[in-house]
Structure 1
Amino acid sequence: MSFTDPRSGSHRARLSVLRLLIGSLLLTLLSRLAFVQLMDPNKPAQSAGATHLGSIVVPAPRGEIVDSRGRVLVGNKSTHVLTVDRSALDQQDDHGAAVLARLAPVLGMAAVDLRHEITPCGSKVPSPCWTGEPYQPVPVASDIDAGVVFAISEHAEDFPGVAIDAQTVLDYPGGTLAAHVLGYTGVVGADDQKANRALADADTIGRSGLEESYDSVLRGVDGEQKVQLDPRGEAVGTAAAVPAKQGDTLITSIDADVQALAEKSLREQIHASQLKGKPAPSGAAVVMDPHTGRVIAAAGYPTYDPSEFVGGISVADYHKLTAPGANDPLVGRAIAGAYAPGSTFKLISSSDDVMSGAVTTDGRYPCPGSLSVDGRTKTNYESESFGGPIDLTFALQVSCDTFFYAPAVAEWQADQARVDSGKKPLEQLQAMARAFGVAQFPGMDLPADEQATGSIGDRASRMAGWKANKADYCAAAKAGYPDVTDPTNRAYLTQLASENCTDGWRFFAGNNADTAIGQGDTTVSPLQLATAYSAMVNGGTLYQPTLGWGVADANGKIIRTITPKTVRTLPVTPSVLSKVANSLHFQNNHSVSGALAFDGSPIQTLISGKTGTAEVYGKQDTSWLASWGPVQPGQDASNAKFVVVGMIEQAGTGASAAAPMVRKIYEGLLGVNGAPVVAGSEPASTMPTVVAKSLSHQSKPSSSGSTAGTARATSASASASSGGGQAPPGSAAPLPDVLPTPSGTRRP
């Protein structure tokens, strides 16, 4: 008996309906395709005349950077940029060969190189080549002179496809003024676009300094020029445009006049020290408002001109700035350099000694000419002795090293007893140093790699350093420095390497004694020292130093205020800080080291300060002065309006180099030889009025044979006509090792 599923008929019916539906759809599609391709009378005309839109980015002019009185530090200026439109050239019988042959000598370059510049990059097209859109006019020369503008404009018929555009570029009216804190810009690279998809090839991005840290504020919003393209991708006209919006204005705490004063004083003192036979290769000066943490000036020598980076620095010029013999002009010593502070560190030692109970502010303690520590003799400067016990005030004034050695050795001994009993050391001196900001990241509003953290020696850091460098120590001890010609120096280095090989992990009592006078493994930047002394002056508030003060929009309206943050309150009573500060007020009798440099100046008794003379192995001494003022005799140090720190490498004692430099800065601040460089001889307290911007935000051609838009773009080799390519994006010079080799047991 057979059985038939009654549902099979319904299945076949549904399949038949589905087949009919699919067939109808295919027939309709084929019929429409045949009509469009074979019978539509308008189709050929539509195909021939079809166009589509392309887009060219119109980069926004960057915002300005102004000083604390509203004066422009980084602004904008109009310049002429010459572009070549490949689309227009390709429409000519010779593909523009004659135009390029006429243009090349006007620009001082070869026609073949010019052709390379405007050829779109590809797998078979080596650099230099054009990285932008194929239909986009290619900039081949910027900041062109009037002669070239005239030659092209007056003979436009000879240069079809060539345009001269008025465009906005960065301008540095002060030249090298404040270069290290302002920074420089560069073109956008692939890595930048991966990190920020909103960036276009034609954009300019901050590469260092404030330009980098406030890039999102300064960059603005790009505009857009629509271009009509034919089926071949050639530009045949322009369409709607969206204008670019210029970036906001960054208001800084830098005072341009104080900055210029600091740079001039530093430069002149370095030259004066060199005339006295000192190497004095570099230096720095910092002027700070101790009551706010705002930096008023940060000078470094040597320096550079950031305008060299506008439009892309040539490879040759970049190599000059980064060559071994250039002395690292891109490094801002005031903030990125780290150096042994010498006796300027005694602010911290004094604070530790009093707060730990090792000394009292009115007690008297020994100051011998020398002291034996770890079997080695440590001496005062020139083995000075002052005939008996002295108090803290006098110890600071004459900078007696042995006065500060003794408490540091006692601290080490107490800590070693703790270690021997299985406990952790307190390391109070190191803790106090960190509280003042030593060996701590400053947190300034600059890129992190442009701020020195500094260092301080302790048991943990010594062990870590030994583990990392033991192999080098032992290898050096075994080799014996055969390249060192001086036998005494060679023997010393070999002994030092041998000690480091076996005992480099040990932190001795002598190391702690060295720390107490700012030697050994201790290093700070001039900025860190200025921040520490500012905390002393203001009664104990350690600020995170800042350069930015506010942001204003295109209408000059303040839209953001940048307020310095409090890092911590020092673990030191205001009375102790006041005692230390008031002990160092300059007097006519020269009892305070550094006062001698102010002889003959009417402001001598208005200034206070602590000199430092830091020994650096293999080099001459680093000269320091950390100072504050003006303070009338009898007034408390908290009345000081400024903290000024000066440092010159390999220039001798603090009193002989740094102090004369700082004197010049104060004489300008207080108006000794004319009007004070700042009104009222005090830092600005209110933000300035910012002038509203009135720049044109879209480039416009002044002479063109091109049919496409003429918005600015940036070629990978746009500056070739004035010297070659440019440094790779993000290729700011790496910070060199500017740390001096402190005295003490460490790697030679």
Structure 2
Amino acid sequence: MIDSVSDRRPPVSPQLAIRVAALGVVAFMLFAIIFFRLWYLQVLSGDQYLAQAQTNKVRVQPLPAPRGSIVDRNGDTIVGNESAIVVKIRPDSLPASEKKAAADYGDAVIARSQRPKGSQGAPIVIPEIPQDLAPRFRRLATTLAMPTRRIQEIVVRGLFLAGYAPITVREGVDESVQGYIAERQEEFPGVSVDRAFIRTYPGKELAAQILGTVGQVSQEQLDAKTFPGVTLGSIVGKTGIEREYDKYLRGRDGKERILVDAQGNPRGEGLRIEPKPGNDLQLTLDLGVQRTGQVSYASIAGSKPGAFVAMDPRNGDVIAMGSFPSFDPSLLAKPISQKQYDRIFNDGSTPQFNRATGANYATGSTFKPITALAGLEDGKISTTDTINDQGCLKIGVQERCNAKKAVFGPVDLRDAMKVSSDIYFYLLGQSTNTRDPDGGAIQRVARKFGFERQTGIDLPSESQGLVPDPTWRKKVGEDEKQCRRDKGIPQDASLATAGAGGCAISDGRQWSIGDNVSLSIGQGDLQATPLQMAVAYAGFAQSGRIPRPRLGRAVTDDRGALIQTLPASGGRSVKIDPEYRDAIMDGLHLAASAEGGTSTSVFDGWNQSRFPVFGKTGTAQVTTRVLDQSWYLAYSYDGPDKKRPIVVAVTVEDGGFGAETAAPIACQILKRWFATGGTAQRNNNRAAACAAGTDVSF
């Protein structure tokens, strides 16, 4: 049978058969190679690669972001940054013996701090280095050229304060040290050497209490979400401006993934996210005025504690603010020994305490404008009523006199303010006294002008102060009775006995006319801060406009471009009769310029026609101090258009009469302010050389 044509197929040529055979051989060889490689990796080298996988890990290394700089109103740097090499120890690398020693130390420190002052006993001693840790610390001490005991001190305190975060042992080491430790990680387990940014303070002690400090975020702050988005070990603002504006200054940390072996030695790098620098913050401060205030204070008041404030009364911009004694904040930007810390901060002077916003003082005669306005509004006096000041006055069984028993004769409101007649204001205190629970006219006007309330300045904390009244007097009497009951002190025991037992809150008496008389001249139980006094005088200067003080002015990026203007925080208005206000301001001007004025001698030769000074001295008697507390409040401006207005408050503990110490300091501050109207106008803007105190050059 013949085949169909369609079933016929072409024969396979010898060449095609050879090609197919060759491709088959190649495919077989490729599969053989792959199979052999898999067999080699899994069977012959499996244990080796398993070990490598187990000994290599990925470590996420934080890349700290530099905090933004802080500058003054003219762009001059107050706080900056510098890059430094720092040596740290990871807490998880320390033995249990060290952690237990740190915990015991912390418990002892806390227990000591809870005991009353005077009975706390000797400071708690840092425990000895555990034997299993001593060789490591000795090697590190030799490398860093520092005592082994110092390393132990830093580590124990670091574990106690923040046992979860890396402990900085030393900052600013040489690059050679960095390389030495990096090459010998097996000799320094848990030790890392990184670059970090450290805060720098070109002005050293300038505005130290205002600027505040930075440090690692605490576990309590993380738990409380005080700083949203912040991770373990981050640097945050702890106090002052650093704390208040932390969200602008902090920036955003970056991170880097690093492959390390079991000994922590780097084996490769991975993903890297660069840090984002924090924004810069511009303050309302003027560094020139700030420096003049601090230099003047130191040269005139010496080492006596106190404070000053200079403020624009129109908007509350703080031009300068100082507290004494001061300190160099750069000391706290790096590890500091307990001995060094105690020498600076635990000598009883509390230099970190901002006395401008937190110290409660009797104000002396600087309070008299409040008393005068209260008497006028209460109808007890008019602006022209006259009294005959004979130097002393008997109120009840107590005789009260002017300073040095000076006799001023017939005085009206303006004269009484000029010569600071206590008798005039004693009579106002007597006539405005009331048994109303909230007090009378003086208490009402004082609270209206901001006493017994926080000013609202953009700092983390400030004092509220006190305006005494019958309700307060009754409360402290009840508190004293309860204190004596709690401590087992007889109710009829003397105040000295109660004080020795931890009470003496009050002598238990009821409110009396004498309380109001003392209040009328800023004495007795009145408590106010220098900032509150500046705000009150700004209210008089602005005809009842009470400003809210502020320090933050604008936020810029690291190239200086404006990101956000921080608006003036506003204020509030109180009603003042223009006639009353003018009479009080006239009296304040006479006190600084007319013959017989309490501070006229300080401003001898001052250009009062262009830069009129409205000033009031204050001399507050303090039973616990040798000398009286010196006060001076001043308001001034440039020319009839009232350009560049300024209010200055100065107080010096144990400074004596207001005209002796506080007023010369205020004069120097005013002089500097009016000399900074621009380079071309500098000489023309000089008000005068201050007649008292040490002259400070521009």
Into which bin does the TM-score normalised by the smaller protein fall? 0.7 to 0.9
- Give the 3-state SS of the residue equivalent to 1:181 in structure 2: helix
The structural deviation recorded for 1:153 is 5.3
The structural deviation recorded for 1:234 is 7.1
Residue 212 (str. 1) matches residue 243 (str. 2): yes
In 2, Cα distance between the equivalents of 1:115 and 1:365?
72
Q: Work out whether residues 593 and 599 of structure 2, in 8 Å CA contact, stay in contact via their aligned partners in 1.
A: no
Match of 2:292 among 253, 258, 261: 261
CA 1:115–1:40 in structure 2 vs 1: closer, same or farther (change >3 Å)? farther
Match of 1:293 among 284, 296, 316: 316
The structural deviation recorded for 1:128 is 11
The match for 1:626 is 633
In 2, Cα distance between the equivalents of 1:447 and 1:114?
33
Residue 333 (str. 1) matches residue 349 (str. 2): no
- Give the 3-state SS of the residue equivalent to 2:288 in structure 1: helix
Q: Could you tell which deviates more after superposition, 354-363 or 211-220? A: 354-363
Q: Work out whether residues 438 and 469 of structure 2, in 8 Å CA contact, stay in contact via their aligned partners in 1.
A: no
CA 1:235–1:560 in structure 2 vs 1: closer, same or farther (change >3 Å)? same
Residue 427 (str. 1) matches residue 440 (str. 2): yes
Residue 367 (str. 1) matches residue 385 (str. 2): no
In 2, Cα distance between the equivalents of 1:665 and 1:129?
43
- Paired amino acid for 2:421: C
The match for 1:452 is 463
The structural deviation recorded for 1:410 is 2.0
Q: Could you tell which deviates more after superposition, 602-611 or 179-188? A: 602-611
Show CA shifts across 1:167-218 (max 9, x none): 3211111111110100111222211221236333332121111011111221
CA 1:440–1:163 in structure 2 vs 1: closer, same or farther (change >3 Å)? closer
Q: Could you tell which deviates more after superposition, 161-170 or 257-266? A: 161-170
In 1, Cα distance between the equivalents of 2:493 and 2:680?
61
The match for 2:423 is 402
Q: Could you tell which deviates more after superposition, 543-552 or 43-52? A: 43-52
- Give the 3-state SS of the residue equivalent to 1:532 in structure 2: helix
CA 1:554–1:500 in structure 2 vs 1: closer, same or farther (change >3 Å)? closer
Residue 176 (str. 1) matches residue 205 (str. 2): yes
In 1, Cα distance between the equivalents of 2:481 and 2:495?
15
The structural deviation recorded for 1:377 is 1.5
Q: Work out whether residues 64 and 196 of structure 2, in 8 Å CA contact, stay in contact via their aligned partners in 1.
A: no
Matches of residues 69-148 of structure 1 in structure 2 within 5 Å?
69-82=74-87, 104-109=141-146, 131-132=164-165, 140-144=169-173, 148=174
- Give the 3-state SS of the residue equivalent to 1:520 in structure 2: coil
CA 1:363–1:77 in structure 2 vs 1: closer, same or farther (change >3 Å)? same
- Give the 3-state SS of the residue equivalent to 1:595 in structure 2: coil
Q: Could you tell which deviates more after superposition, 198-207 or 106-115? A: 106-115
- Paired amino acid for 1:295: V
- Paired amino acid for 2:244: S
Matches of residues 371-390 of structure 1 in structure 2 within 5 Å?
371-388=393-410, 390=411
Show CA shifts across 1:452-478 (max 9, x none): 211111011111111112366875963
Q: Work out whether residues 438 and 471 of structure 2, in 8 Å CA contact, stay in contact via their aligned partners in 1.
A: no
Q: Could you tell which deviates more after superposition, 334-343 or 307-316? A: 307-316
The structural deviation recorded for 1:106 is 3.3
Matches of residues 123-522 of structure 1 in structure 2 within 5 Å?
131-132=164-165, 140-144=169-173, 148-150=174-176, 165-196=194-225, 198-229=229-260, 236-271=267-302, 281-323=304-346, 325-388=347-410, 390-412=411-433, 415-416=434-435, 427-448=440-461, 451-470=462-481, 478=493, 481=496, 501=507, 503-504=508-509, 506-522=510-526
In 1, Cα distance between the equivalents of 2:443 and 2:134?
72
Q: Work out whether residues 144 and 177 of structure 2, in 8 Å CA contact, stay in contact via their aligned partners in 1.
A: no
Match of 2:551 among 547, 567, 592: 547
In 1, Cα distance between the equivalents of 2:210 and 2:415?
38
CA 1:81–1:657 in structure 2 vs 1: closer, same or farther (change >3 Å)? same
- Paired amino acid for 2:205: T
The structural deviation recorded for 1:264 is 0.5
Show CA shifts across 1:532-576 (max 9, x none): 111111221111111111111234232222233334212323442
In 1, Cα distance between the equivalents of 2:491 and 2:655?
30
The structural deviation recorded for 1:340 is 0.6
Q: Work out whether residues 622 and 652 of structure 1, in 8 Å CA contact, stay in contact via their aligned partners in 2.
A: yes
CA 1:169–1:366 in structure 2 vs 1: closer, same or farther (change >3 Å)? same
Match of 1:657 among 645, 658, 661: 661
Q: Work out whether residues 87 and 234 of structure 1, in 8 Å CA contact, stay in contact via their aligned partners in 2.
A: no
- Give the 3-state SS of the residue equivalent to 2:528 in structure 1: coil
- Give the 3-state SS of the residue equivalent to 1:654 in structure 2: coil
- Give the 3-state SS of the residue equivalent to 2:259 in structure 1: strand
CA 1:128–1:306 in structure 2 vs 1: closer, same or farther (change >3 Å)? closer
Residue 611 (str. 1) matches residue 632 (str. 2): no
Q: Work out whether residues 217 and 233 of structure 2, in 8 Å CA contact, stay in contact via their aligned partners in 1.
A: yes
CA 1:101–1:454 in structure 2 vs 1: closer, same or farther (change >3 Å)? closer
- Paired amino acid for 2:143: V
Task: Mark the structure with the bigger radius of gyration.
Answer: 2
Give the CA RMSD over aligned residues: 4.1
TM-score between the two structures when normalised by the length of structure 1: 0.71
CA 1:681–1:547 in structure 2 vs 1: closer, same or farther (change >3 Å)? farther
- Paired amino acid for 2:615: G
The structural deviation recorded for 1:362 is 2.5
- Paired amino acid for 1:399: S
In 2, Cα distance between the equivalents of 1:483 and 1:383?
35
In 2, Cα distance between the equivalents of 1:607 and 1:266?
20
- Give the 3-state SS of the residue equivalent to 1:598 in structure 2: coil
Q: Work out whether residues 99 and 159 of structure 1, in 8 Å CA contact, stay in contact via their aligned partners in 2.
A: no
Q: Work out whether residues 83 and 195 of structure 2, in 8 Å CA contact, stay in contact via their aligned partners in 1.
A: yes
- Paired amino acid for 2:59: G
In 1, Cα distance between the equivalents of 2:534 and 2:447?
14
The match for 1:699 is none
The structural deviation recorded for 1:345 is 0.4
The structural deviation recorded for 1:509 is 1.1
The match for 1:55 is 60
In 1, Cα distance between the equivalents of 2:340 and 2:665?
31
CA 1:195–1:500 in structure 2 vs 1: closer, same or farther (change >3 Å)? closer
In 2, Cα distance between the equivalents of 1:513 and 1:340?
14
- Give the 3-state SS of the residue equivalent to 1:596 in structure 2: coil
Q: Could you tell which deviates more after superposition, 189-198 or 516-525? A: 189-198
The structural deviation recorded for 1:331 is 1.0
Q: Work out whether residues 206 and 212 of structure 1, in 8 Å CA contact, stay in contact via their aligned partners in 2.
A: yes
The structural deviation recorded for 1:297 is 0.4
Show CA shifts across 1:502-521 (max 9, x none): x52x1111111111110111
Q: Percent identity?
A: 28
The structural deviation recorded for 1:396 is 0.7
- Paired amino acid for 2:663: A
**How many residues were matched structurally?**
592
- Give the 3-state SS of the residue equivalent to 2:330 in structure 1: helix
Matches of residues 521-600 of structure 1 in structure 2 within 5 Å?
521-586=525-590, 589-600=594-605
Matches of residues 720-739 of structure 1 in structure 2 within 5 Å?
none
Q: Work out whether residues 270 and 281 of structure 1, in 8 Å CA contact, stay in contact via their aligned partners in 2.
A: yes
The structural deviation recorded for 1:440 is 0.7
CA 1:540–1:640 in structure 2 vs 1: closer, same or farther (change >3 Å)? farther
CA 1:596–1:322 in structure 2 vs 1: closer, same or farther (change >3 Å)? same
The match for 1:735 is none
- Give the 3-state SS of the residue equivalent to 1:444 in structure 2: coil
Q: Could you tell which deviates more after superposition, 611-620 or 570-579? A: 570-579
Show CA shifts across 1:384-439 (max 9, x none): 33333x22111111111121222322222xx34xx6xxxx6662210110111111
CA 1:574–1:226 in structure 2 vs 1: closer, same or farther (change >3 Å)? farther
- Tell which has more relative contact order, 1 or 2 (C-alpha 8 A, sep 6+): 1
